[in-house]
Amino acid sequence: MLAALFAACSLAHAAPAILVFGDSLSAAYGIPRESGWVALLGGRLKQRHANYTVVNASVSGETTAGGAGRIGEALAQARPAIVIVELGANDGLRGLPVAEMKANLGAIVRACKRSGARVLVVGMRLPPNYGPQYTQAFHRAFAEVARAEQVSLVPFLLEGLDDRRELFQQDDLHPVAQAQGVLLDNVWRKLQPMLRR
């Protein structure tokens, strides 16, 4: 399965790779894959003549524990210059301990750094019905990991969608194709400075 995901890297890495390591929000769940924000990122990089390839190793339903288990293989396959880590939403939706999520995210980030990649952590928020104590600790976790590991942070992938119900699929969790440009813009603001380094 991973071999297919990394087919884009088969050209002897003519261009440095950006590895997107996420869950369904990055795997274009429920919409055509070419409409997802990761595919749009590839188009924007070409538009801006940025010499990077994009490798999408996102898996729907992935938790941070699952990500921590497969990050080594993903890094070995893609050998990325930059890794965008977009994991944690499924931990939150399942009510898993925030401390465990932070530990897993930290392990993923450290593995990326050891490989020589620069890292961009993408934050998430939960709906209020999970209770203020859990939702606040969950949201803070991403910034705390980014600060501890001294890496860049997108505070909230879905910033700007808020209560706009028409921009979400029927499950109220996954943005529709028309909203993917907003997700890309949220990531791009923090990614663009990393491209110039």
The structure tokens 């990089």 sit at 45
The reply to whether 49 belongs to the active site is: no
The reply to whether 24 belongs to the active site is: yes
Q: How much of the chain is in helix, strand and coil states, percent to nearest 5?
A: 50, 15, 35
The reply to whether 58 belongs to the active site is: no
Task: Given the residues 24, 26, 58, 115, select the one marked as catalytic.
Answer: 24
Task: Given the residues 162, 163, 171, 172, select the one marked as catalytic.
Answer: 171
Task: Given the residues 58, 91, 139, 174, select the one marked as catalytic.
Answer: 174
Q: What is the three-class DSSP state of 175?
A: strand
CB 85 within 8 A of CB 22: yes
The side-by-side arrangement of strands in the sheet containing 118-122 is 53-56, 17-22, 82-86, 118-122, 152-154
* Residues belonging to the active site: 24, 171, 174
